[in-house]
Structure 1
Amino acid sequence: MMWGVGGFWMRVDDKAKTGFLWELPGAMERLEVVRGDLMEDGSFDMAVEGVHTVFHAACPVFINPEGDPQVTMLDPALKGSMNVLKACAKAASVKRVVMTSSSSAIRYDYNRQATDPPLNESVWSNPEYCREYKLWYPLAKTLAEREAFAFAASVGLDLVAVHPSFVVGPFITPVPQSSIKILLSLLKGSEYPNSRLGFVHIDDVVTAHLLAMEVPEANGRYICSSDVLHFSDIVDILRLKCPKLTVASRCSDRKGDNFHHKMDSTKLKNLGLAQLKSVDQMFDDVLKCFHEKGLIGDYQ
């Protein structure tokens, strides 16, 4: 997504996936939809002309990727980021790139302990740990972000990265995507992940990206995360909020993703996001959205 003088540009070419965007307020006047392919060299060169801020949020998300993860996740993440950044470096109009990274690029390493201080923006996930436990999404985000900052520094490109944790809240797409699909599966009795991680409201993620764009002093990396919980805590919350639904009761046996840790969002709060929304509110909001879209029945 790009921000220019006239409004938003969305660089996509699948009308079936983007038709709902035209229903948003002001879309007919200020939204332009243009084709862009992350894996195609030079695909964004013309797209970023006249744009002063680029939001690079695209990354393949597969919970259990089929085939070679190098092909399905790592190559698209790395090559896609570089294609966008190279286009931005060529465009005289682009003043800043805001990259959506992830807390997954920060929290994975050996010997994490509950007594450790909260993880901050100076911490990076250990690629070897990710490979050992087949954590391909965290590996992709970590490698892509490191390469992005190295490239940006080499060409003098102003790059700011936002690191959301697990995003929860209402969504505008016709069907849920990525993390929201996992939550919906929990309400249908699916196995829940053996994972402990931060959770964050979508509204706070949006605000974080806008602050990264608008505040001249914004720089480097920004963690955007509320409470850190295990998914067993999440299913307990869902059982209380959804007594009429069959909530997941069986935990997966996957290893490497259930260690205790804390996330420090102080840098983002100092940038202007003083108060992150509660876990209770984010789940109230996503459940209401599920119900309004007909994805779940009466749940209370």
Structure 2
Amino acid sequence: MEGGDAKGSVCVTGGTGYVASWLIMKLLEHGYRVRTTVRSHNPDSKKDLSYLTDLPGASEKLQIFNADLAQPDSFDEAIQGCIGVFHVAHPLDFEDKEPEEVKTQRAINATLGILKACLKSKTIKRVIYTSSASTIMFNEKGLDVLDESHWSDVDFIRSLNPYGASYMISKTLTEKAALEFAEKHGLDLITVIPSLINGPFICPRVPSSVDTAMVMMHVDLTIDKLFEFLSAKYPECPIPTPDSFKEIECTSRSNLSSKKLLDTGFKYKYGLEEMYNGAIQCCKEKGFL
């Protein structure tokens, strides 16, 4: 997928999200034709997607398709004929409106359905799956440094029951299923394991990861004060108790290694100051601060 001058088509799932919208913009800048999937998009929909359709080059090179994770086959059309797929979409339900098993199975079925569509296309050269640092952080090994060779223990996550536990479990089990499928079928699959993502954003809403990162700028981050802040800011959400925050704090002291990424030649372009400045400026421009 190197060299945008090839002008191939690339599919980005979950195009309305934080990471996906940035991917769409960058892919367009590099000369790719982009197909992205969103839920329930049609000409009569009231959903405003102008932040995508107004991107430079979008009028000529961006196509938007309807697709739903609950219907894996709905991604087939967007993937057909593409040279690569960025699978970013994932079910989000931090309020646990559905059982953990239901959300996990939906995520696994959708991801495997997308990978099957990639095989059927005969044109896909590589799939990039966006995972999460939560897939490696939660275990009882007590290691100083964790990397992509480690896995979170889903039973351990269940025993802690932190806020967002079902998301952490579904991401862990979905990534495992994706890697097993790719190895079995000879599909070139790369998983990316980001930690908390912060910085400016293209989408019209403040991304949850930016909102979480900005908490540190509003409160003196003791566990008790963080609990009070979150309870006031999100009264409709089931915020965990201060004790469960302390449990997470005690189990999340390991550093996350970027050695494998850096060994490929990757170089970090921005530091914390630039990321926070970018997020703050973007929030101001969009009227959130």
Identity %, equivalent residues: 31
Equivalent residue, structure 2, for 1:279: 272
| Conservation of the 8 A alpha-carbon contact between 1:103 and 1:164 | yes
1:94 aligned to 115, 124, 142, which one? 124
Q: Which has a greater percent of helix?
A: 2
| Conservation of the 8 A alpha-carbon contact between 2:36 and 2:78 | no
**Normalized against structure 1, the TM-score is what?**
0.71
Instruction: After TM superposition, give the deviation of residue 184 of structure 1 in Å.
Output: 5.4
Residue 262 of structure 2 corresponds to residue 269 of structure 1 = yes
| Conservation of the 8 A alpha-carbon contact between 1:193 and 1:252 | no
Whole-Å separation in 1 of the counterparts to 2:74 and 2:275: 36
**Normalized against structure 2, the TM-score is what?**
0.74
Whole-Å separation in 1 of the counterparts to 2:189 and 2:65: 23
Instruction: After TM superposition, give the deviation of residue 111 of structure 1 in Å.
Output: 4.4
| Conservation of the 8 A alpha-carbon contact between 1:10 and 1:31 | yes
Whole-Å separation in 2 of the counterparts to 1:66 and 1:276: 39
Instruction: After TM superposition, give the deviation of residue 82 of structure 1 in Å.
Output: 1.3
Going from structure 1 to structure 2, the CA distance change for 1:279 and 1:185 (only over 3 Å counts) comes to closer
Equivalent residue, structure 1, for 2:56: 25
Letter in 1 for 2:173: L
| Conservation of the 8 A alpha-carbon contact between 1:109 and 1:129 | yes
Equivalent residue, structure 2, for 1:145: 175
Equivalent residue, structure 1, for 2:248: 257
Letter in 2 for 1:66: K
Whole-Å separation in 1 of the counterparts to 2:36 and 2:204: 17
Equivalent residue, structure 1, for 2:67: 36
Letter in 1 for 2:62: L
Letter in 2 for 1:9: R
For residue 280 of structure 1, give the secondary structure of its aligned residue in structure 2: helix
Instruction: After TM superposition, give the deviation of residue 144 of structure 1 in Å.
Output: 0.1
Whole-Å separation in 1 of the counterparts to 2:221 and 2:49: 30
Equivalent residue, structure 2, for 1:58: 89
Instruction: After TM superposition, give the deviation of residue 174 of structure 1 in Å.
Output: 0.8
2:153 aligned to 126, 147, 150, which one? 126
Deviations 1:17-46 (A, max 9, x none): 533201111111110001111111421222
Letter in 2 for 1:119: L
Equivalent residue, structure 1, for 2:21: none
Instruction: After TM superposition, give the deviation of residue 120 of structure 1 in Å.
Output: 1.3
Whole-Å separation in 1 of the counterparts to 2:48 and 2:90: 16
Residue 76 of structure 2 corresponds to residue 45 of structure 1 = yes
Equivalent residue, structure 2, for 1:172: 202
Instruction: After TM superposition, give the deviation of residue 192 of structure 1 in Å.
Output: 6.8
| CA-based RMSD | 2.9
Whole-Å separation in 2 of the counterparts to 1:184 and 1:75: 32
Deviations 1:211-263 (A, max 9, x none): xxxxxxxxxxxxxxxxxxxx97xx9xxxxxxxxxx9xxxx9432442131101
Farther off after superposition, 121-130 or 4-13: 4-13
Equivalent residue, structure 2, for 1:243: none
Whole-Å separation in 2 of the counterparts to 1:193 and 1:167: 21
Letter in 2 for 1:288: Q
Count of aligned positions: 240
| Conservation of the 8 A alpha-carbon contact between 1:192 and 1:252 | no
Going from structure 1 to structure 2, the CA distance change for 1:28 and 1:262 (only over 3 Å counts) comes to same
Deviations 1:100-149 (A, max 9, x none): 0011111110142xxx3421111111111112122211111110000001
1:163 aligned to 181, 193, 198, which one? 193
Residue 10 of structure 2 corresponds to residue 10 of structure 1 = no
